[in-house]
Amino acid sequence: MSDRSKPRKQPKPLSPSLASSPPTPKTLTPSRMARRSLLKPFLASALSLLALYSLLHASPSPNPLSFSSYSSSSATVPRPPVPNIYVYDLPRKFTYGVIRSYLLARDPGATPPPDDNPHYPGHQHSAEWYLFSDLLRPDRRPDSPVRRVSDPADADLFYVPFFSSLSLIVNPIRPANAGAAPERAYSDEAMQEELMEWLEGQEYWRRNRGRDHVFICQDPNALYRVIDRVRNAVLLVSDFGRLRGDQASLVKDVILPYSHRINPYKGDIGIEGRHSLLFFMGNRYRKEGGKVRDTLFQILEHEKDVVIKHGTQSRESRRMATQGMHSSKFCLHPAGDTPSACRLFDAIVSLCVPVIVSDYIELPFEDVIDYKKIAMFVDTRSAVKPGYLTKMLRKVSKDKILQYQQELKMVKRYFEYEDPDGTVNEIWRQVSSKLPLIKLMINRDKRLVKRGPHDLDCSCICSRQNGTIISR
Amino acid sequence: MSDRSKPRKQPKPLSPSLASSPPTPKTLTPSRMARRSLLKPFLASALSLLALYSLLHASPSPNPLSFSSYSSSSATVPRPPVPNIYVYDLPRKFTYGVIRSYLLARDPGATPPPDDNPHYPGHQHSAEWYLFSDLLRPDRRPDSPVRRVSDPADADLFYVPFFSSLSLIVNPIRPANAGAAPERAYSDEAMQEELMEWLEGQEYWRRNRGRDHVFICQDPNALYRVIDRVRNAVLLVSDFGRLRGDQASLVKDVILPYSHRINPYKGDIGIEGRHSLLFFMGNRYRKEGGKVRDTLFQILEHEKDVVIKHGTQSRESRRMATQGMHSSKFCLHPAGDTPSACRLFDAIVSLCVPVIVSDYIELPFEDVIDYKKIAMFVDTRSAVKPGYLTKMLRKVSKDKILQYQQELKMVKRYFEYEDPDGTVNEIWRQVSSKLPLIKLMINRDKRLVKRGPHDLDCSCICSRQNGTIISR
């Protein structure tokens, strides 16, 4: 299921005015001032009524409904303000141009799509499209965890909306028109270089050496050629499989879920329709950590209640995977070429309890999701012992499976890119939470004096497994 | 100015009800429900008026005054909720008992102070008192960046209010009653051990191995005996001078300012009354990085517009320091035994532009304060070149000094522990900002499988100086 060239479903096109989001005024315009001066006395009287009320009903303990917790007139701000994000107006070739090249490479005679309805092709790394669309939407939710600003001088963060994952697959594995193939002229590597040239000409990039910039490189190979030049920035990635510790980390970067590729299970929790114990369908032969797959095939393919199939991406295999995931209790998630894969998110929306065999996996939104409640984790060494996996899974009680399913249902929205309260908002929330440390590092970098040449100046947090002791 | 035994000023005693902060109900009590049900329709009508108003005056761009930005009725929460903090009800010997031991060690015949007015002695590491008092105050600000809860099951964070810095100096350097000295029986080391024994018996400590616990150890030697047993926790410290990278870091810990020890300058900005170019008063002889002090004395003591004096803590030396800092343009801040010292904060509240010669200093609240705007930084190698410092400082224009002073004035509140909108709130804000990563690490630790024994599992962020490349 890793051939990325066959789109399943077009993400929803945006409204025609997509590209013309109105600017947020930096200073008060006369009309805004007038509105404000009308609003103020109104607010003042409404709020003083509330204040009076809360005084009369004062309680000495913190009251979540008390006046000052939602007063905008308070002198102090109780929580950090919503970060302002500036979206670079990149040359078109880095955004809509990539979509156009992708479509033309598959159908050289096609009429290029209009920019206001660009038909971004569906694939597992389409977060770049959802984030871009969200930022440009004129009717953005006012409670989004980031506020878009039109003046970079107001920005805390800078979003670089290059479609780096789509760029990687513009050239199809089998060109539509072998021989002529004019679209072979597209070079992802050249695009990466040109992007950096463009950025390095920007004042706001140079100011903090990109530390307050946000890049999306969801495909593990996206931006690979320039990754060392963007490693100060916040990277939105699928895992750290191909990134070194000095390029990406949980401290500054954000793990994104893949877009799920099969349809969510609409039914309720239960195991009645789930006759198979364990299901897996995907490429049997993978590189690196994914070599475990072949071993798992050998161990599992003769178990009678296990469905394990070799298959690559196609409409037919997605149909079979949907059926398999909707009718199994557990879904296997072995490492692929890198520790993550879209199969995990397919399993989640299928309410099929994921069984994760991927020792180096990083998981999205792990500050709010306790994955132990929705998935089982098995280390690779144990998983490849004959009989280990099936014996373990057969021992899981029906109640426990229902518990897992209940929890899966509760977190489903985190993996729905199209849910207005789903993945996109959660990604921005994650990015926002990085801001205090980003700002600290920016200010600190400005005033650091020369130290010894061998003083590595890094700040870390370590897991308890290694690097921290276990309390006695 | 580093002898900590002579108090200047008693921090304000709290109200008698200090120790009996009312619990925050976990569930709604009947009276609270009644209040809420009265409040609800009132709020609803007030807010619907506001909603109507904002509809009539709707603007397509995000409006900072728009209704929904302070509506409490929105279904989704735009920003992470205020963290809940639980304050351990430690055995008294770890809190009020330390104060009592301190006072008795100085005056064995004294009547022990009552718990409701405990006279915490003033010293530069008294943040532990201010934070404790803030958490126990019955009239805590509802907009505090942390909410105290009475049930540990509701808590995101756990505060351990051991007075570790005061404990370190319970035994005076010269006992009040040499010979008998019964208070010599106090052992800070034993206290640290007993604290850990107590904690390690607590369910919530064991649950996440202390990762969600907060300790204050502001004196660089506080908690030194057990530091490896608390290093998973959030540590509130003055600097990292005596801590290794695997014990403390900018990622998980918070740098606190010292309490300033001299009176703030009340006048306006200006250089008229500031006749000296540079002022320093403190101990000439220090260990480690502080050895630079003696060299600086040799270089500077014969410059005619420089006042540089050897002095230790006393009422008289504080009077002289106040006078010196209020009448100088620049105030020298060389490293002491560790990179930080209270003198920096004395300079800030004196509007005397700090000149920092301390290559490994870490600074409080650096995510919101750009120290380049309020201080000058000189690397040690340059600072000890004869003539370098004075030549550099004489070149600074009057306008530039006024600019520095203006900025100093603006950030002063961050260094006022007694300001309701000052240091204490800012510390809680910093602690809150650590929470997403703490929660991530806690969830991740639960599901990590065994990896290779030599895989160090740490996530880091590095300065641009080393560890990250400089963009081309």
Q: What angle do CA B460, A433, A371 make, to 5 degrees?
A: 80
pLDDT digits (tens, 9 = 90+) for A172-200: 876 555 554 454 589 999 999 999 999 99
Helix or strand run (H / E) with residue B96: helix B96-106
Cβ-in-10-Å burial (0-12, 13-18, 19+) of B126 comes to buried
For residue A217, CA distances in Å to A183, A258, A337 come to 23, 12, 16
Burial of A285 by CB count in 10 Å (0-12 exposed, 13-18 middle, 19+ buried)? Answer: exposed
Spatial neighbors of A469 by CB under 8 A, at least 6 apart, are: B228, B229, B231
- Residue A360 token pair: 């180096």
Q: Distance (Å, rounded) from C-alpha B55 to C-alpha B50? A: 9
Instruction: Establish if A158 touches chain B: CB-CB under 8 angstroms.
Output: no
Q: DSSP class of residue B228?
A: G
pLDDT of residue A19 exceeding 80, the answer is no
Question: Measuring CA to CA, how many Å separate B231 from each of A437, B224, B248?
Answer: 20, 11, 7
Contacts of A372 in chain B (CB under 8 A): 443, 446-447
Render the burial of B22-54: b for 16+ CB within 10 Å, e for the rest: eebeeeeeeeeeebeeebeeebeebbeebbebb
What pLDDT score does B8 carry?
41
| Cα A323 versus chain centre, distance | 26
- Picking from B179, B161, B338, B168, the residue whose alpha carbon sits closest to that of residue B243 is B338
Least Cα distance to A204 among A93, A84, A95 occurs for A84
CA A187 to chain centre: 25
User: A127-171: per-residue pLDDT in tens?
Assistant: 999 999 999 998 888 889 999 999 999 999 999 999 999 999 999
Q: Write down the H helix ranges in B107-187.
A: 127-136, 164-168
Contact yes or no for A231 and B468 at CB 8 A: yes
A35 touches chain B (CB under 8 A): yes
**In terms of C-beta density within 10 A (0-12 exposed, 13-18 middle, 19 or more buried), how is residue B62 classed?**
buried
pLDDT at A336 over 60: yes
- Put simply, whether B201 touches A (Cβ < 8 Å) is no
Binary contact (A39, B148; C-beta < 8 A): no
**Cβ within 8 Å, pair B465-A446:** no
User: By the 8 A CB rule, do A273 and A327 touch?
Assistant: yes
Cα A123 → chain centroid: 14
Strand partners, B254: B236
Burial zone of A302 (CB within 10 Å; 0-12 exposed, 13-18 middle, 19+ buried) = exposed
Residue A55 parent element (H or E): helix A30-56
List chain B residues with pLDDT less than 50: 1-78, 180-181, 183, 466-472
Chain B residues 370-429 within an 8 A CB cutoff of chain A: 370-372, 375, 377-381, 421, 425, 429
Q: What pLDDT sits at residue B94? A: 98
Both tokens assigned to A88: 């670079």
Tell me the β-bridge partners of A314.
Answer: none
**CA-to-CA distance for A415 and A409, rounded, in angstroms?**
11
Q: Name the DSSP class of A217.
A: -
Q: State the pTM of this model.
A: 0.82
CB-closest option in A70, A211, A444 to B70: A70
Q: Which residue in the block uniquely carries the two structure tokens 């490896």?
A: B228
Distance CA B418, CA B127 (A): 10
Instruction: Let me know if A109 is exposed, middle or buried by CB neighbors in 10 A (0-12, 13-18, 19+).
Output: exposed
> How far, in Å, CA of A168 to CA of A184, rounded?
12
Closest CA to A225 of A186, A196, A245, A184: A196
Which residues of A, range 106-125, sit inside 8 Å of B by Cβ?
A: none
ipTM (interface predicted TM): 0.82
Identify all chain B residues contacting A25, using CB atoms and an 8 Å cutoff. 61
Q: Give the best residue of B206, B212, B443, B459 to mutate against chain A (max A CB count within 10 A).
A: B459
Tell me if A353 sits within 8 A of A347, measured CB to CB.
Answer: yes
A312 has a pLDDT exceeding 90: no
Spatial separation of the C-alpha atoms in residues B117 and B16, rounded to whole Å: 7
Contacts of B205 in chain A (CB under 8 A): 471
DSSP A121-176: PP-TTTHHHHHHHHHH-TT--TT-SSEEES-GGG-SEEEE---HHHHHTSS-SS-T
**Residue B176: per-residue pLDDT:** 53
Residues 6+ apart with CB under 8 A from B384: B292, B295, B296, B299
Cα-to-chain-centroid distance, residue B4: 17
Strands A213-216 and A234-237: parallel
pLDDT in tens, A1-12: 333 433 344 444
Strands A157-160 and A147-149: unpaired
Please identify which residue in the block is written with the tokens 């050249």.
A190
What's the mean pLDDT in A244-266?
93
Residues sharing a CB contact under 8 Å with residue B68, sequence separation 6 or more, in sequence order: A142, A143, B54, B74
Q: Tell me the range of A74-88, A137-151, A298-312, A404-418 where mean pLDDT is highest.
A: A404-418
**Residue B225 token pair:** 């005996």
Q: Distance between CA atoms of A121 and A123, rounded to whole angstroms?
A: 6
pLDDT in the model for residue B465: 53
Rounded to whole angstroms, the Cα distance separating A294 from A291 reads: 6
Sheet arrangement for strand A84-87: A147-149, A84-87, A157-160, A213-216, A234-237, A254-255
Chain B environment of A206 (Cβ under 8 Å): 471
> With an 8 Å Cβ cutoff, are A78 and B78 in contact?
no
**Contact (Cβ atoms closer than 8 angstroms) between residue A459 and residue B461:** yes
Summarised one tens digit per residue, pLDDT across range A426-439 is: 999 999 999 999 99
Burial of B60 (0-12, 13-18, 19+ CB in 10 A): exposed
- CA of B62: how far to CAs of A25, A150, B75, in Å? 9, 11, 18
Closest CA to A302 of A231, A188, A386: A386
Amino acid at B204: Y
Backbone angle region of B192, left / alpha / beta, with phi > 0 → left and psi within -120 to 50 → alpha: alpha
Q: How high is the pLDDT of residue B80?
A: 61
**Which residues make Cβ contacts (< 8 Å) with residue B134, sequence separation at least 6?**
B140, B144, B424, B428
**Candidate from B32, B61, B366 with C-beta closest to A440:** B366
pLDDT tens figures, B292-316: 899 999 999 999 999 999 987 788 8
Q: Which two tokens stand for residue A27?
A: 């200073």
Cα separation, A449 vs B63, whole angstroms: 41
Please list, residue by residue across A347-379, b when 16 or more beta carbons sit within 10 angstroms of its beta carbon and e when fewer do.
Answer: bbbbbbbbbbbbbbbbbbbbbbbbbebbbbbbe
Q: Is B451 within 8 Å of A465 when comparing Cβ atoms?
A: yes
**Look-up of token digits 């990754």:** A227
Say if the Cβ atoms of B24 and A62 lie within 8 Å: yes
Helices (H) and strands (E) in chain B, counts: 13, 12
pLDDT value at residue B56:
35
